[in-house]
Chain A
Amino acid sequence: MGVDEFRILLVDDEVEFLETLVKRLKKREMNVSAVKSGEEALIWLDHDPVDVVVLDVRMPGMDGIQTLREIKRRYPLIEVIMLTGHASFEVAVEGMELGAFDYLMKPINIDDLIYKAQDANKKKAIQREKVRYIEELKSEE
């Protein structure tokens, strides 16, 4: 699997923002999908696992932090980039503590987002390698 060929799931309640971002990312040949809430994101992930989730902090229903916690519980290997409309230090810290890869503040620069997503995917790949290696060691025993 190439570095650029990874799947991104965008989670944001602002449909207009989501649609445009999806179009722009697709134009850059990213494999990207989008859902409108934390709940939908979890359902999506059950059927169709992705590599990186870009998650808005403030959403109706399950908010970013809750969703992050749930994602990390179910799929520890998936990397999450938090997207925030307000640069609350606490939220950022909390997110990082819960295992988020990084956070970005709106309005985002699309290139920044892509770089961060690529980095997150790299990290995920390394993690997966490590897990595989450990499993191999275990199976050899």
Chain B
Amino acid sequence: MDKSKETRTADYPAFFKKRFFTVIIFSITPMILVSGIILYQFKMSYHEKVHAHLAELVLKHKQNVDSFLAEKLGDIRVLARTFGFEELSDESFLRDRLETLQRGYGPVFVDLGVINSQGLQVAYAGPFKLGNVLYSTASWFENAMKNEYVISDVFLGLRGLPHFIVTVRDNWKGESWVIRATIDFVAFNNLVGNIRVGETGFAFILNREGELQTKPLFDVIPDKGPYLEFMKTKLKEKDDVQIVERRDEFGNKNIYVAAFLKGGDWLLVYQQRASDAFSDFRRALKIAFAIIILGGIAIVNMAYVFSTRMAGHVARMEKEKKMMDEQMIETGKLASVGELAAGIAHEINNPVAIMVEEAGWIEDLLEEEDFKEGENLDEFQRALKQIRTQGKRCKDITFKLLSFARKTDSRIQEVDINDMLEELVAISAQRAKYSNVTINSNFQNDLPFIRVSQSELQQVFLNLINNSLDAMEKTGGTIDIASKVEGDFIVVGVADTGPGIPKANLNRIFDPFFTTKQVGKGTGLGLSICYGIMKKLGGEIEVRSTMDVGTTFRVFIPLTEE
């Protein structure tokens, strides 16, 4: 079955290919187009959504940090304005103030210091021993003396720990003095460090020099990446957020979100791997691709199956059509021969009838006295007998022609094939005996009855048996007649041990008027009548022959459907 399928497909490779690719193109193209467009739209809107979300996040934290710083600065300012240099220079008072602040705001303020205009820390409250330290050379001090409020960058300072300070300058008796508070780095760091999104999203703060102001969760090299470009950007609005997507030095695509803090001194940077930020989109993309690939495979499979089936179908149709054409030609040939035969039979029969009648008349006349003494009476009578014999021969020929053309008794009857065959064997027995032919029957018992025209079927088998007898007229031999059920058919075989049919003639034996018998012995219609009858019954007749071994005809009679 597979083999026939293959050959069928192979018979129509161009058709198969065309179908196959047409189906694939027409199925896959819209699928890819539609999914592509949808994915693109989804990607755009998802990116927008993620960007907006991150911008919001960064903006919120920027405001958080800004308000944190402003608040701390405000606390120190209130302290300076409320108490003044004199009171705050008292170290025990300063310690009380620190305690108050720490009670109010938690351990955000690490220490407090009061520094006079010479840079000498006159009072200090805090965990470090920094009393009477001279800050005159420290850069933050210069800055603090110049500006009323300063929030410094993160630096190590004398204590050797990263921290930053808030300073407020004030005047007392014409001299400037500065109050300084150290902000707990951990507390501040947490403000930013707590910004965590997904697996790779984190935030940190850079100053204008690109130095880290908080400890980033992952390694950051401020010189690389887009950070310095962010610095250079001049923003119109205070609250503007910048978003950039680009690859880092490791080749990973990152999304960077930045906002300025502290009036533009610091930059809050949030960064996240794009793959992480868009992980939902990635997942959707993966699913979409999986579906597209599965769909593609399904389409290819379907196209293959469909095309194979189509090609097979077309091949079958073609074959059937070819067979039908052949059959049409065959039937057409038989039909036209039939019409011709009927015409000839009628036209020939009448003149022959007249001739025979005239001969009969002459014979009648010869009976009369005048001719009894005639010299050539015997010759006359011989000639007239010959005319009658030949007239009869004409009649036989036309009779056969007519039996070929006419519709025989085609009434459908229940027929027992075995009974019928036995009858035919009995009829042929006499002739077989003269030709020294033995007829063996080998019938399958209990053959189902079939509904056919008995006389037509008789004609078929009688023709076959007669042909076999003719073939073995001189040599003698055997005829084996066998019947059995094969599939949907009753198969009757008629096998003889005659001289066989030459290969060249095998194709033509069913053609009308084809005969190898001597002129006058055969009409060449017998087998074509058989062929026509079997075709009409929906059956088949086939022949196999080997020279000098014998010939077997097999007749396939379709079983009647119950």
Pairwise interchain contact B346-A85, C-beta atoms closer than 8 A: yes
Pairwise interchain contact A89-B407, C-beta atoms closer than 8 A: yes
**Is B353 on the interface with A (CB-CB < 8 A)?**
yes
Pairwise interchain contact A14-B350, C-beta atoms closer than 8 A: yes
Pairwise interchain contact A17-B402, C-beta atoms closer than 8 A: no
Count A-side interface residues using an 8 Å CB cutoff. Answer: 20
Pairwise interchain contact B407-A14, C-beta atoms closer than 8 A: no
Pairwise interchain contact B350-A106, C-beta atoms closer than 8 A: yes
CA distance A92 to B320 in the complex (A): 40
A residues 39-58 in Cβ contact with B at 8 Å: 58
Pairwise interchain contact A89-B361, C-beta atoms closer than 8 A: no
Pairwise interchain contact B358-A90, C-beta atoms closer than 8 A: no
CB distance from B76 to the nearest CB of A (A): 132
Pairwise interchain contact B346-A86, C-beta atoms closer than 8 A: yes
**Is B342 on the interface with A (CB-CB < 8 A)?**
yes
What residues on B are CB-neighbors of A17 within 8 Å? 350, 353-354, 357
CB distance from B376 to the nearest CB of A (A): 22
What residues on B are CB-neighbors of A74 within 8 Å? none
- SS class of chain B's interface: helix, strand, loop or mixed? helix
- How many contacting A-B pairs (Cβ < 8 A)? 69
**Is B360 on the interface with A (CB-CB < 8 A)?**
yes
Which candidate, A20-28, A30-38, A121-129, is the interface stretch facing chain B?
A: A20-28
Pairwise interchain contact B349-A86, C-beta atoms closer than 8 A: yes
CB distance from A29 to the nearest CB of B (A): 12
Map CB proximity to B onto A95-127 as digits: 1 under 8 Å, 0 otherwise.
000000000011110100000000000000000
**Is A16 on the interface with B (CB-CB < 8 A)?**
yes
| Partner pick for B395 among A14, A27, A107, CB 8 A cutoff | A107
Map CB proximity to A onto B383-399 as digits: 1 under 8 Å, 0 otherwise.
00000000110110011
Pairwise interchain contact A105-B399, C-beta atoms closer than 8 A: yes
Map CB proximity to A onto B340-351 as digits: 1 under 8 Å, 0 otherwise.
001001100110
What residues on B are CB-neighbors of A139 within 8 Å? none
Contacts A86-B346, A86-B349 given; indicate if A20 touches B357 (C-beta within 8 A). Answer: yes
Pairwise interchain contact A16-B354, C-beta atoms closer than 8 A: yes
- Of all chain B residues, the one with the shortest Cβ separation from A17 is B354
The 6 closest A-B pairs by CB, nearest first: A107-B353, A106-B353, A107-B356, A85-B349, A20-B357, A86-B346
Measured CB to CB, the residues of B under 8 A from A are 342, 345-346, 349-350, 352-358, 360-361, 364, 391-392, 394-395, 398-399, 402-403, 406-409
Measured CB to CB, the residues of A under 8 A from B are 14, 16-17, 20-21, 23-24, 27, 58, 85-90, 105-108, 110
A selection of 17 A-B contacts at a CB cut-off of 8 Å is A17-B354, A17-B357, A20-B354, A23-B361, A23-B364, A58-B346, A86-B345, A86-B402, A87-B403, A88-B402, A88-B406, A89-B408, A105-B395, A106-B395, A107-B355, A108-B357, A110-B360
